[in-house]
Each structure stands twice: as structure tokens, then as C-alpha cells.
Amino acid sequence: MTDESGLAGLNALPEAAATQALLACCSAPEWARVIVAARPYGSAAELFATADAALAALPESEIDLALAGHPRIGAQPDTAASAREQAGVADAADTVRVALAEGNRAYEEKFGHIYLVCATGKSGAELLDLLTTRLGNDPATERQVMRTELVKINRIRLARLLGGAA
């Protein structure tokens, strides 16, 4: 399935089915609602732009719902998408896995939410380095960084939904 045939399929889905497909990309209901309501899309770029804008407009309560749809980095992935995205952690040394678990706890204690990072293509050591760096952020900066990472993840998942390689 090509991007555009995948896009045609998304455009043609009944509202409930399209919403469910989008919630598999990002578990914020308002984000999915906005994207479904803006159909039909003429291009994948138009879909991505709408998705980015919808995410930027979400209140923090919806961002929290989006975060709830992601496992901790280094934890057992709960979906095929998460397993694919965190594949670099699967081969990580035990010391890296332990450090990620400790870093996740410190991050959650400091920021009040999970450490979210676009893990696609990154090794466990790279993800640990990013986590360590981000622990130095203040809460407002980190919340913005996390939103940026969520945009990246959503785009990868949307591309997969459309049948494109991400």
C-alpha cells in the first residue's frame, strides 16, 4: 500500500474506525477527533501538518492521555509499534537497562510523567544519554521537548498507518 492509497483508505474509513486507527498512533482522543474531522486529506503532508497543529493545540490533560499510551523506555513494550520503536534497547547491556530504569524513576519524580523520546533508530546507550541530558532541563523546557518528541513519534506512526516505511 502506498502513502496515497493509504491516505485514501484513511479518508474513506467510517468515523469510528478512523478514530480507532488514529488512537493507535496517539492515545489523545481530542487529537484523533481533530484529525478525523479535518478529512479528507489531499496528501500525507497535509495530514502531518494537521496532526502537528492538533498536538500543539492540545491542553496538558490531553498530552497526559497521549503519554499514557507509551511504555517506559526500556520496559517491556506493550504494542508492536512500541517494540519496533524501542528495538535499540532490546540489545542493550544489562548495565544500560538498569541505568534506564533508574533514570526513568528519577525523571518521573522530577517531571511527573514518563520519559518520552522518539526511540526509533536509537540504541539503548543513546536513549540513556538523552535521558541523562534531559534530566537537567527545567519542567517547562522539558514539557516542550516532550511535546516535540511526541510529534516525531506521531509522524512515524501516521506514516506506518498510511503504509509507508517510517
Of the candidates 100, 112, 116, the residue with the CA atom closest to the CA atom of residue 151: 116
The total of structural domains in the chain comes to 2
| 40 in a structural domain | yes
End-to-end alpha carbon distance in the chain: 13
Instruction: Kindly state whether residues 24 and 53 are assigned to the same domain.
Output: yes
Residue-wise pLDDT tens digits, 107-136: 999 999 999 999 999 999 999 999 999 999
pTM for the model stands at 0.90
Instruction: Kindly state whether residues 32 and 48 are assigned to the same domain.
Output: yes
pLDDT exceeds 70 at position 5: no
Residue-wise pLDDT tens digits, 14-59: 999 999 999 999 999 999 999 999 999 999 999 999 999 999 999 9
H/E element holding 7? helix 3-12
Residue-wise pLDDT tens digits, 79-98: 788 888 888 888 889 999 99
